[in-house]
Amino acid sequence: MEWLTAIRGAVSYAEDHLTDDVSLDDVARAVHLSPFFLQRGFSLMTGYGIGEYLRNRRLYQAALDLRKRSEKVIDVALRYGYETPESFTKAFARFHGATPTEVRSGAAIRAFLPLTIQIHIQGGSKMEPKITPMFPFRLIGFQKVFTYEEAYSEIPRFWDETCEKYANNVYAGNPPANPYEQALMDNCIGEYGVCIDDLSDGRFRYLIAGKYTGGPVPEGMVLYEFPRGEWAVFDCVGPNPQTLQSVNTRIFQEWLPGNPDYELCGNATVEWYDCLHGEMTDADYHSAIWIPVQRKA
């Protein structure tokens, strides 16, 4: 499905199911995208996650219902997915700054209207990735599970923790002190960061990885294999994580919408880091984002 159509379809599906028990997975199935790509793209294009958008729209509609109807608060709460008046009142007051009873009595409410998705191309910097066919390749790495909402802030911390625990000793020129440091050195772990969408409930796996060269896989580390396919490779030059995050945002806001030739496929994306030249904070540091794609029919 064309990317912009898919995002608009996600908004439409959410609006049609405000009083139903729907999840990110349900919305993704409706628009034929993986939850990972949908959540990432939706968030980057609108500023809201799918769950956050549904929650905000429900709380706004609940306030309108309280104003228009002489219903019990519990009935409105149940209609919009809250199991108790207490949980509803807490979320309602956090969003509107007033309780349901106060809103019914005339207190101001926070408006949250349905989103309208539009694309505005600005500036003169055109994104021109290289479309590169790749043979199957296998990665080995350290893994952690994240939610979509926390990813941009928490993944850099995961890198810092992993480097401090497993990399600093060998980076200092010392011999590996344990199997994890040996695996890190043998497989150049840290060359790749991989987002893998094969979980549910708004979570995904992230690997700090290297290309697997064989040998033992220490307990707790994981292997992941990519099939043969085509990738859109976006070069990034600048300090990280800011540069990668900025290019990633532009991919979903500028390159994918209305792209006449390619669409997303697969369930994982790759960040590549130059492990041989420079520091990540350097102004001319080289990295890249790899997105699996396929030609449109």
Q: What is the pLDDT of residues 8-58, one digit of tens each?
A: 899 999 999 999 999 888 998 899 888 878 888 888 788 888 888 999 999
Domain boundaries, the chain: 3-104, 130-295
Compute CA 154 distance to the chain's CA centroid, rounded to the nearest angstrom: 12
**Helix or strand or coil: residue 254?**
helix
Q: What is the pLDDT of residue 201?
A: 67
Q: What is the pLDDT of residue 54?
A: 93
According to DSSP, residue 286 is labeled E
CA dist., res. 79 & res. 74, Å (int): 9
* Contact call for residues 184 and 222 (beta carbons, < 8 A): no
pTM score, whole prediction: 0.72
Six token digits for residue 117: 């998705």
- In which residue ranges of the chain is pLDDT below 50? 120-125
Six token digits for residue 146: 């994240």
CA dist., res. 142 & res. 222, Å (int): 7
Q: What is the pLDDT of residue 258?
A: 67
How would CATH label the architecture of 3-104? Orthogonal Bundle (1.10)
Residue 24 CB partners (closer than 8 Å, separation 6+): 35, 38, 39, 50, 51, 201, 202
Given the candidates 3.40.50.300, 3.20.80.10, 3.40.50.150, 1.10.3720.10, the CATH classification of the domain at 130-295 is 3.20.80.10
How much of the chain is helix, strand and coil, in % rounded to 5?
40, 20, 40
Six token digits for residue 71: 């219903």
